[in-house]
């Protein structure tokens, strides 16, 4: 068991999500940065999609009631174990009564904690991912207990990880053309693909609203399916990037679609971070 002494700003249990229940309106959900989640699991020899704790902006304070091994990945929250610094991307042995304290996120905004054997919470529609309307709680809260599998961690000999350049430094977000891209004027297409865009305060696991608009007069469309990574354009030219907890259908034109990599990159960006859309051929 892990006791939540302080939940942090927004911490939730996530895995690979609920792909398969979207025809009844269930969001896909799952870790915002799938690469970081899988990375942490791989370092523990866990199945890659084992449930992890996703911690955004400022991390929690946790007390372990059992020994285990953990890995932290993603943003650097300056983690301390019993007030001693520990590093991301390395298995860390945890003893009973140890206290893990995570601070403000640097080099990204989301940190993942994988536990040897994976976090165990109820499976609902095939996933442990916390999501509003699906799981009883949306985030972890003070005094809650998180259970995990008691699987001893067997470190591979010589398993040393060299992580590539931090993902969040990339300013180019790979995108494909969306089904309504062709409705845009040449001017609007140029703005979309050349201008820099900034994430507004209005950003969450459901969607990021961008600050800069594009010059369009687009009609709304017949409500149609959308995906995490779909970029919607409102009638007023406001861009909305749908994220992992997005609704399953929408009525705004879908002008771009982030690639999986683009979605993972954007997941580590937050308020006031800026980026460019970088078009990738897919549907020519």
Can you give the binding site for another protein, defined by CB under 8 A?
Answer: 19-27, 124-125, 132-135, 176, 178-179, 222-225, 227, 229-230, 247-249, 254, 257, 259-260, 282-283
State which residue, 94 or 263, has the beta carbon closest to another protein. 263
State which residue, 136 or 152, has the beta carbon closest to another protein. 136
Least separation in angstroms between CB 254 and another protein: 7
Using alpha carbons only, give the angle 39, 97, 14 rounded to the nearest 5 degrees: 30
Q: Are 126 and 92 in contact (CB under 8 A)?
A: no
State which residue, 46 or 257, has the beta carbon closest to another protein. 257
Between helix 34-43 and helix 260-267 the angle, nearest 10°, is 90
**CA distances (Å), 111 to each of 14, 52, 114, 240, in order?**
12, 10, 10, 24
Least separation in angstroms between CB 173 and another protein: 14
State which residue, 104 or 261, has the beta carbon closest to another protein. 261
State which residue, 198 or 220, has the beta carbon closest to another protein. 220
Least separation in angstroms between CB 43 and another protein: 26
Least separation in angstroms between CB 177 and another protein: 9
Using alpha carbons only, give the angle 65, 71, 76 rounded to the nearest 5 degrees: 110
Using alpha carbons only, give the angle 178, 129, 150 rounded to the nearest 5 degrees: 140
Least separation in angstroms between CB 115 and another protein: 24
Least separation in angstroms between CB 131 and another protein: 9
Q: What residues have CB less than 8 Å from 158, skipping those under 6 apart? A: none
Q: Are 160 and 44 in contact (CB under 8 A)?
A: no
Q: Which residue has the tokens 């449930």?
A: 51
Dihedral, 132, 136, 141, 142 alpha carbons, nearest 10? 160
State which residue, 111 or 203, has the beta carbon closest to another protein. 203
H or E element, residue 75: strand 68-76
């Amino acid at each position: 068991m892990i006791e939540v002494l302080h939940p942090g700003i927004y911490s939730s249990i996530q895995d690979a999500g609920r792909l398969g229940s979207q025809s009844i309106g269930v969001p896909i959900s799952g870790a915002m940065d799938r690469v970081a989640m899988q990375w942490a699991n791989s370092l523990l020899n866990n199945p890659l999609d084992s449930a992890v704790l996703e911690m955004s902006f400022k991390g929690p304070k946790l007390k372990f009631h059992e020994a285990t091994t953990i890995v932290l990945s993603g943003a650097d929250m300056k983690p301390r174990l019993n007030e001693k610094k520990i590093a991301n991307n390395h298995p860390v042995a945890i003893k009973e009564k140890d206290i893990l304290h995570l601070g403000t996120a640097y080099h990204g905004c989301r940190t993942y904690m994988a536990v040897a054997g994976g976090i165990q919470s109820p499976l609902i529609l095939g996933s442990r991912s916390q999501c509003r309307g699906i799981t009883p709680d949306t985030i972890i809260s003070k005094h809650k207990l998180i259970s995990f599998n008691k699987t001893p961690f067997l470190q591979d000999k010589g398993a040393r990880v060299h992580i590539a350049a931090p993902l969040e430094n990339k300013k180019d977000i790979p995108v494909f053309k969306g089904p309504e891209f062709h409705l845009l004027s040449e001017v609007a297409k140029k703005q979309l693909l050349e201008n820099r865009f900034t994430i507004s305060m209005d950003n969450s696991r459901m969607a990021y609203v961008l600050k800069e608009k594009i010059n369009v007069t687009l009609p709304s469309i017949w409500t149609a399916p959308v995906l995490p990574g779909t970029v919607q354009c409102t009638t007023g030219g406001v861009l909305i990037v749908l994220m992992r907890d997005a609704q399953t259908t929408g009525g705004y034109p879908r002008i771009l679609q982030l690639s999986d990599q683009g979605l993972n990159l954007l997941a580590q960006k937050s308020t006031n971070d800026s980026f460019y859309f970088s078009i990738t051929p897919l549907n020519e």
